[in-house]
A = this chain, B = another copy of it.
């Protein structure tokens, strides 16, 4: 079968391109140190991230009207501040919530994306809102051609409107677009919409003690997946440090 390469590579961002857990641990530790507080910051980061899916699912089911990820993060933070007894000022909470705009990339991300950009149009396809993704790109030096966000469609991944909408804005057929992600549900939904998919394994996404959500041998790969996986991963690996 001849391999027709995709025209655009769209990347999931949290976990796939940036290391949210280490970044949030670092920022929370810094915010709390000023108050003399100490706790397991990994637990705090995990709890913040764990609140995201249920909150987002309430929006996806229509139980809440559309709200962007910055606001979802803030709702969860307000609960965690009480649960972890952090006692932060309004200003400190606002600043800490913006930590999601300042996440650090995985070590291979900037070099890998820079190389991929020479041959492909590269963009985000993230549940992060536009402002968050733009700030993050400027902070981390991520060389996106364009920022595509769930916010543009007022639907969160894995709702199909996000994948179809992205292909439509790019003026491409779904099969001309490849989603690159470290997560099973995202890849499966993109595939269900006719997009091509590439899996990037991020074994440390949930920290050194927990297994990644998805390992290579647990993801049923079609031949196209394997092929594209190899091409994208090899390019990324070539850029690894």
Give the interface of A toward B (CB within 8 A). Answer: 70, 121, 123, 129-131, 134, 137-138, 145-147, 151-152, 169-172
Contact = CB atoms under 8 A, between A and B. Distances in A.
A138 B145 contact: yes
Contact of A169 (B121, B123, B130, B169): B130
Interchain residue pairs A-B with the least CB separation, the first 6: A131-B171, A130-B169, A146-B147, A134-B146, A131-B170, A134-B145
B146 A130 contact: yes
A145 B137 contact: yes
A97 to B, nearest CB: 12
Contacts of A130: 146, 169-171
Q: Which of A123, A146, A151 has the largest count of B CB atoms less than 10 A from its CB?
A: A146
Contacts of A146: 130, 134, 146-147
A170 to B, nearest CB: 5
Given A137-B145, A146-B146, A171 B121 contact: no
A169 B131 contact: yes
Contacts of A169: 129-131, 151-152
A138 B152 contact: no
B70 A171 contact: yes
Given A130-B146, A131-B170, A137-B145, 18 more contacts: A121-B134, A123-B134, A129-B169, A130-B169, A130-B171, A131-B169, A131-B171, A131-B172, A134-B145, A134-B170, A138-B145, A145-B147, A146-B146, A146-B147, A147-B147, A151-B169, A152-B152, A152-B169
21 contacts: A70-B171, A121-B134, A121-B138, A123-B134, A129-B169, A129-B171, A130-B169, A130-B170, A131-B169, A131-B171, A131-B172, A134-B145, A134-B146, A134-B170, A138-B145, A145-B147, A146-B146, A146-B147, A147-B147, A152-B152, A152-B169
Contacts of A123: 134
A134 B145 CA distance: 7
A151 B170 CA distance: 11
